[in-house]
Structure 1
Amino acid sequence: MIAHLRGTLLAKHPNQAIVEAAGVGYDVTISIETFTHLPAEGSEVKLHIHTHVREDAIALFGFAQKDEKRLFEKLTTVSGIGPKLAITVLSGISSDRLIATIRAQDHATLTKVPGIGKKTAERVVLELKDKLDEFALSSAHVSHVPVGAATEDVLSALTNLGYQKPAAEKAMENALKKEPGIQDDFEQLFRATLAAIR
């Protein structure tokens, strides 16, 4: 099975990368988080790969960071979550935020991800909350943005504009230190975060 892929990045889209290695072009499904880490098309790229084999297809799922791949594999152990939904989850919420959300048993944040209903969110928390100890060190240094009504929407809007999620989170954290009362106001928070990121 393919576990790692290094080659030339022929094309990239928010959910797909095509990597040429030894004359073969591999179609790899990726998350938004991995997409933001990809180099320019034509550059060398390295991806950690999870190979998913079904009776009718072999699918490759690629990750810029090893921890994101490990988290993806944990998600796919949850009943009702296949690899495509796991990628959707990792595209809707950053790895470090997802870990914090599961540990906090925050079902509401999980249900904001397309395809995750209340019961699935409860299963994710129940089945994974005690299985994330190995991620403790990697997420210890991450900025922690308070969860408000507008924070996820602002982060989503900024990543859609092309900003990297870690940079957007750090800018939001700085903006909220100056004006803590704006975390529920999308427009004010968006403008303040955008000003802090530039």
Structure 2
Amino acid sequence: MIGRLTGILLEKQPPHLLLDVQGVGYELDAPMSTFYKFPALGQSVTLHTHMVVREDAQLLYAFAEKRERDIFRELIRLNGVGPKLALALMSGLDVDELVRAVQAQDTSALVRVPGVGKKTAERLLIELRDRFKAWEALPGTFKPLASEGGAQTPASQSSDAVSALMSLGYKPQEASRAVAAVEEDGMSSEELIRRALKGIV
């Protein structure tokens, strides 16, 4: 089992990233909550990981904090929740927002995530309620891994943001509209994705 990796960030195209660990390139998937904290390409980063072994693949999922990985592990234990849906939930809601939604049994927060209808949201909230009793929402717990850097053109930022939303399950037109609605000059693709996710209802 691979529990943590430290290496050089070579590629990041949400939800996928490539990490060079002493000459070995690890392909990982990560939620947007982790992508928001990434340093610029070429910089070192330490990630907490969860490995899933299937008959046809060995998959690695990466998280900026242990707390994020713990939430991911709780989610994939639920009936009907696989890694893809867990990443989508953690991309649409940060850890604190997810914990607050569970505590308040707020279905409206979850139904914004692709693949989660009202009935599914209600079931997930009920199942998570007991699991999350030990959790507390602690705003400001997470800090950036490093300052964002590296120049991108506005076109590539928008394209990356739209691609990321599509990979999370949003339809192409929905993703394009969401990005266009929040786009401003000088915004990074990560900030575009963050604002677009907040704006999707």
TM-score, shorter chain, exceeding 0.5: yes
Give the CA deviation at 1:160: 7.3
Give the CA deviation at 1:37: 0.5
Counting only pairs closer than 5 Å after superposition, residues 91-106 of structure 1 correspond to structure 2 as: 91-106=91-106
Give the CA deviation at 1:157: 4.3
Gap runs ≥5 in structure 1: 144-152, 169-185, 187-198
- For 1:110 and 1:81, how far apart are their aligned partners in 2? 13
Name the structure 1 match of 2:122.
122
CA contact (8 A) 2:72 2:87 kept: yes
Give the match's secondary structure for 1:120: helix
Give the CA deviation at 1:161: 5.3
1:77-120 deviations in Å (ceiling 9; x for gaps): 11110011100110111111011001111112211111112222
Counting only pairs closer than 5 Å after superposition, residues 40-189 of structure 1 correspond to structure 2 as: 40-136=40-136, 139-142=137-140, 157=182, 162-163=190-191
TM-score (norm 1): 0.71
Give the match's secondary structure for 1:133: coil
- For 2:12 and 2:103, how far apart are their aligned partners in 1? 33
1:134-167 deviations in Å (ceiling 9; x for gaps): 322xx23459xxxxxxxxx89x94897543999x
Pair 6,75 (structure 1): closer, same or farther in 2 beyond 3 Å: same
Name the structure 1 match of 2:30.
30
| Bigger radius of gyration | 1
CA contact (8 A) 1:13 1:35 kept: no
Runs of 4+ in 1 over 2 A off after TM superposition: 139-143, 156-166
Higher helix share: 1
Letter in 1 for 2:60: L
TM-score (norm 2): 0.70
Task: Count the aligned residue pairs.
Answer: 157
Name the structure 2 match of 1:181.
none
1:16-41 deviations in Å (ceiling 9; x for gaps): 11001121100100111100101111
Structure with more contact order per residue of length (Cα contacts < 8 Å, sep ≥ 6): 2
- For 2:18 and 2:46, how far apart are their aligned partners in 1? 12
Gap runs ≥5 in structure 2: 142-177
Letter in 2 for 1:163: E
- For 1:141 and 1:90, how far apart are their aligned partners in 2? 15
